[in-house]
Amino acid sequence: MLIDRFNRKITNLRISVTDRCNLRCFYCHKEGFLSKKCDELTPDEISKIAQVFKDLGIKKVKITGGEPLVRQDIVEIIAEMPEFDEISMTTNGILLEKYAMDLKKSGLNRVNVSLDSLNPEKYRDLSRGKLEDVLRGLEAAVEAELTPVKLNMVVMKGINENEVNDMIHFISKYNKDGLNVILQLIELLKLPGLESYWFDIGIIENRISAIAKDVRVRKMQKRKQYLIDEGAIEFVRPTDNTEFCYNCNRIRVTCDGKVKPCLLRNDNLVDVRGLEGEELRQRILEAVNLRKPYFREKIEVESRIKNCAVNGAVNSTVSGTIRGTVRGDLLERSGN
Ligand code: SAM
């Protein structure tokens, strides 16, 4: 079992297989990593790294991107993965109709499909994609039993916060004979430039909790799942959430083979490409050792700055630190 210095058990691995994407969602955090041009890991390299994580106690793997389905060898990647309790994928769904059945046959257990709007024009404005492709992909995923599908909706002020009821109604048609589609409402991560779109999904959570028939608390980041007549709804609230970090059980691998201890920083990546056996194992343990709850550190740095200001002078080095830790590290984003 992998346990970090803050006594957090690490059971989930997120592997980014590419940073290419066939959409251009304006708010995208790109899994916190963007290389100049990613020299993507091969299916064999992915499988070897995953095997060592499995030997170290990882139970669940999520394949992510960029958009994982733009890789033409995606079915091979899944087929070569070692067995885990669960292998899932997060996808924008655009190419899912084509791949759903083959992915299931190769060992994929379920998918998350990102869908922020059911309005075709709005969906196109947000992502530059065609809504009907995603809807066909979702149908194919349910048909292939890549279930429960989680529908990931990032809730944004002035954009789609008024569409949550429509989305709840939409999932209900899939949940007549069991829980096939779960709605996952995600709070926008406030990247620089996105602050005005941030919406407090606690407001929606309060409303849903009042009508819920049952509530389950998931191990992962203590997320709550509310059961209502239409299905199930989960809430993901990472923003400034120390609780979220204290319960973080994830570690990541980038598309070019670096272990990434935290979504929100890029100054502690550990390159494992080309390594095997004991050397690979040791480097992974090194990366685990670098894990720190991000929002705790952010709060500590912010309070140090506040104290400096109260004392009459804002120390420029500390201000530099907060920019470095909280903003600069956050993402090496080109584009938006
Ligand atoms: N292309 C795949 C997809 O669409 O699911 C995988 C990559 S995408 C970066 C993974 C998830 O991160 C998506 O559900 C997306 O909505 C979410 N996401 C991206 N940027 C975000 C942000 N700024 N705040 C919150 N969630 C975000």
**Closest of 207, 216, 141 to residue 174, by C-alpha:** 141
Q: Which of 62-71, 118-127, 191-200, 216-225 has the lowest mean pLDDT?
A: 216-225
pLDDT for 330 beyond 70: no
pLDDT band at 202 (very low <50, low <70, confident <90, very high): very high
* Residue 165 within a domain: yes
Cβ–ligand 1 distance for 164 under 6 Å, the answer no
Q: How far, in Å, CA of 87 to CA of 13, rounded? A: 10
User: Does any domain span residue 335?
Assistant: no
Under DSSP, the state recorded for 69 is: G
Which tens digit of pLDDT belongs to each residue from 78-106? 999 999 999 999 999 999 999 999 999 99
Residues 323 and 277 in one domain: no
What are 182's two structure tokens?
Answer: 């779960």
- Which of 294, 182, 290 shows the shortest CA–CA distance to 239? 294
pLDDT band for position 316 (50/70/90)? very low
The pLDDT of residue 296: 63
Q: How far is the CA of 29 from the centre of ligand 1 (A)?
A: 6
Digit-coded pLDDT (tens) for 5-27: 988 999 999 999 999 999 999 99
pTM (2 d.p.) = 0.87
pLDDT of residue 299: 55
Q: Are residues 188 and 266 in the same domain?
A: yes
Query: Which of 152, 187, 235 is the pocket-test mutation for ligand 1 (most atoms within 8 Å of CB)?
Result: 152
Lowest mean pLDDT among 80-84, 213-217, 319-323: 319-323
pLDDT at position 94 is: 98
CATH of the domain at 167: 3.20.20.70
Strand partners, 87: 61
Read off the pLDDT band of 335 (50, 70, 90): very low
**50 near 61, Cβ under 8 Å?**
yes
Pocket test for ligand 1, best of 90, 91, 95, 153 (most atoms within 8 A of CB): 90
Q: What is the mean pLDDT of residues 295-308?
A: 55
276 and 321 housed in the same domain: no
Of 114, 172, 111, 112, give the one whose Cα is nearest residue 146.
111
pLDDT tens profile 134-162: 999 999 999 999 999 999 999 999 999 99
Residues 266 and 307 in one domain: no
Could you tell which of 155, 186, 191, 197 is best to mutate to test the pocket of ligand 1, judged by most ligand atoms within 8 Å of the CB? 186
Residue 334 inside a domain? The answer is no
Rounded Cα–Cα distance for residues 287 and 275 (Å): 14
Q: Can you tell me which atom of ligand 1 is nearest the CA of 152?
A: 14
Residue 333 lies in a domain: no
**Per-residue confidence (pLDDT) for residue 86, from 0 to 100:** 98
Query: Angle CA(28)–CA(31)–CA(33) in degrees, nearest 5?
Result: 105
What per-residue confidence (pLDDT) applies to 217? Answer: 87
What is the span of the domain harbouring residue 316? Answer: 294-328
Are 190 and 56 contained in the same domain? Answer: yes
Q: Looking at the structure, tell me whether residues 155 and 204 fall in a common domain.
A: yes
Q: Is 90 in the pocket of ligand 1 (CB under 6 A)?
A: yes
- Segment among 194-198, 270-274, 321-325 with least mean pLDDT: 321-325
Yes or no: say if 213 and 221 are a contact pair by the CB < 8 Å rule.
no
- Residues 234, 301: one domain? no
pLDDT recorded at residue 325: 31
Considering the domain architecture, whether residues 203 and 321 belong to the same structural domain is answered as: no
Structure confidence at residue 81 (pLDDT): 98
Lowest mean pLDDT among 126-130, 146-150, 177-181, 239-243: 239-243
Same domain, 210 and 320: no
Quickly state the pLDDT bin for 295 (edges 50, 70, 90).
Answer: low
Mean pLDDT of the chain: 87
pLDDT of residue 300: 58
CA of 279 to the centre of ligand 1 (A): 32
Establish if 92 belongs to a structural domain.
Answer: yes
Verify that 227 and 308 share a domain, yes or no. no
Let me know: does 175 contact 183? Beta carbons within 8 Å: no
Q: Please give the distance, rounded to the nearest whole angstrom, from the Cα atom of residue 317 to the centre of ligand 1.
A: 33
Could you give the percent of the chain with pLDDT greater than 90?
A: 73
281 vs 279: CA distance, rounded Å:
5
- Token match 């990032």: residue? 154
Asked if residue 51 is part of any domain, the answer here is: yes
Question: What CA–CA distance (Å, rounded) separates 144 from 108?
Answer: 10
Listed ranges 6-10, 72-76, 295-299; the one with the highest mean pLDDT? 72-76
| Residue 70: Cβ within 10 Å count | 18
Question: Is residue 134 in some structural domain?
Answer: yes
**Ligand 1 close to Cβ of residue 237 (< 6 A):** no
81 and 182 assigned to the same domain: yes
Number of domains making up the chain: 2
Note whether 62 and 189 are same-domain residues. Answer: yes
In a domain, 90, yes or no: yes
